[in-house]
Structure 1
Amino acid sequence: MPVTTLDSKTALVVIDLQNGVLAAPGSPHSARDVLARTVRLAEAFRARDLPVVLVRVTASTDGSDAVPGRTDLSRSARAWPAGWDAVVAELAGHPEDIVVTKRNWSAFYGTDLDLHLRRRGVTQIVLTGVATSIGVESTARAAHEHGYHVTLATDAMTDLDPEAHRHSVEKIFPRLGETGTTADILALLTATAS
């Protein structure tokens, strides 16, 4: 469903736009394009005193805080470069922003994201970030389950796999909320402010 409205208490929730994640290639949008569009949205939200939530993922180098469970993929300890989990400079440095640290795909599970949003009366979230089919989709699903209106800025997110991105955007997101471009959301922000 195309984006139709923004609630007066809408928050921008940015998933994993951090140094290590943005070093990976993105598809169908480059990580730099996703970042540029997200920065525009963050500036617009801040200008209207709407919350901006910067979600970052981290993990211990010894693997001790890895999510348990069997998968086909290795979960071995990894030597992460220093600063890999820091929010990128283009988004960081705004003391009014909320920073949430996660260790799972979803920004809700095991974090205080829901508490931050509810204390501010937030009823809707706009999602951007990386990766569309992992962190963004997991957070969108949880937001929907928590009763938030969900809006997804589909040109301000990307994935390692263009087919996974397409599947999330075309098959999953329409069941969870409304989708639109950065320009669509900025236009609604401007209309709401008038």
Structure 2
Amino acid sequence: MNLEPSSTGLVLIDLQHSNVARELAPHTAQQVVANGARLAGAVRRSGGTVVYVRVLVNELLRLPADISLARAPSAPPPPPQASELVELAGCQAGDIVIAKRQWGAFHGTELDQQLRRRGIRTLIMGGIATNFGVESTARAAFDQGYALVFAHDAMSSVKAEMHQFAVQNIFPFIGHVRSTDELETAFLKR
């Protein structure tokens, strides 16, 4: 895999307190955060762009559904830090931070504009949760013509089978699926 750092962006979805506190599978939240931070370091060192996306949990779009991931309407509001990135995610001053109010990171945000202004054509995707925020963002990116790479061990979901379905049955049709080690090695070769 040949990744051109100047036109590659790493997009890490929702590595924030509310999501990192969840029980995830097949990878723990700590593994996802650590792998995301490793990738961010490699991308930065090679001259690529790093983007952190966070969802504003108190403003999250809530529509009627059979099953909801949202808190019960009678539950107290989440604390202010629920929407903040965890420190171990490694966000740095030169990184882009995007706030969203729904699963996908493109709709209603400046993500596409920020990427295009920097000449980004390839996105490496990771975050929480694989089949919600990551997949929603990836599908929109694919529709907009971005090449996609998925760091399968830098993402996870609320159930292992939900993660595996996206990684095995969706992502290979819209991009390349690789490990954090493989992607870090690709950037170190630059």
TM-score over 0.5 for the alignment?
yes
Partner of 2:121: 123
Compared with structure 1, are the counterparts of its residues 170 and 93 closer, same or farther at alpha carbon in structure 2 (3 Å cutoff)?
Answer: closer
How far residue 66 of structure 1 moved from its aligned partner, in angstroms, is 4.5
Do structure 1's residue 163 and structure 2's residue 161 form an aligned pair?
A: yes
1:113-155, CA deviations, whole angstroms, 9 ceiling, x for partnerless residues?
0000000000000011000010011111111011000000001
TM-aligned CA deviation for residue 77 of structure 1 = 6.7
The separation in 2 between residues aligned to 1:91 and 1:185, in whole angstroms, is 17
CA distance in 1 between counterparts of 2:51 and 2:187 reads: 17
- 1:101 and 2:99 equivalent? yes
Offset, 1:82: 2.7
Report the number of matched residues.
185
1:67 to 47, 52, 61: 61
Counterpart code for 1:7: E
Comparing both structures, which one devotes a greater share of its residues to helix? 2
Structure 1 contact 153–181 (Cα < 8 Å) conserved: yes
> Which amino acid in structure 2 is aligned with residue 70 of structure 1?
P
CA-atom RMSD, angstroms? 1.6
Contact 2:127 2:155 in 1 (8 A): yes
* Partner residue of 1:145 out of 124, 143, 146: 143
User: Of 109, 113, 116, which aligns to 2:111?
Assistant: 113
SS at match of 2:187: helix
List runs of 5+ in structure 1 lacking aligned partners: none
Deviations 1:51-73 (A, max 9, x none): 1100000133xxxx443643224
> What are the Cα deviations for residues 41-94 of structure 1, in whole angstroms up to 9, with x where unaligned?
11111112211100000133xxxx443643224563751023011011123551
Is 2:40 the partner of 1:46? no
**Measured at CA, do residues 19 and 68 of structure 1 come closer, stay the same or move farther in structure 2, by a change above 3 Å?**
closer
Whole-angstrom distance in 2 between the partners of 1:85 and 1:68? 16
Give the TM-score normalised by the residue count of structure 1: 0.90
Q: Is 2:2 aligned against 1:5?
A: yes
Give yes or no for contact 2:34–2:89 (8 Å, CA) kept in 1.
Answer: no
TM-score, normalised via structure 2 length: 0.92
**Residues 66, 42 of structure 1: CA spacing in aligned structure 2 closer, same or farther, 3 A cutoff?**
closer
Counterpart in the other structure of 2:187: 189
Alignment of 1:4-23 (within 5 A): 4-8=1-5, 9-23=7-21
1:97-124 CA deviation, whole Å, 9 max, x = no partner? 0000011100111110000000000000
> 1:7 touches 1:123 (CA, 8 Å); kept in 2?
no
Q: Which residue of 1 aligns with 2:78?
A: 80
Q: Secondary structure at the match of 1:26?
A: coil
Secondary structure of the 1:84 match is: helix
**Correspondence for 2:134 among 130, 133, 136:** 136
Once the two structures are aligned, what percentage of the paired residues are identical? 38
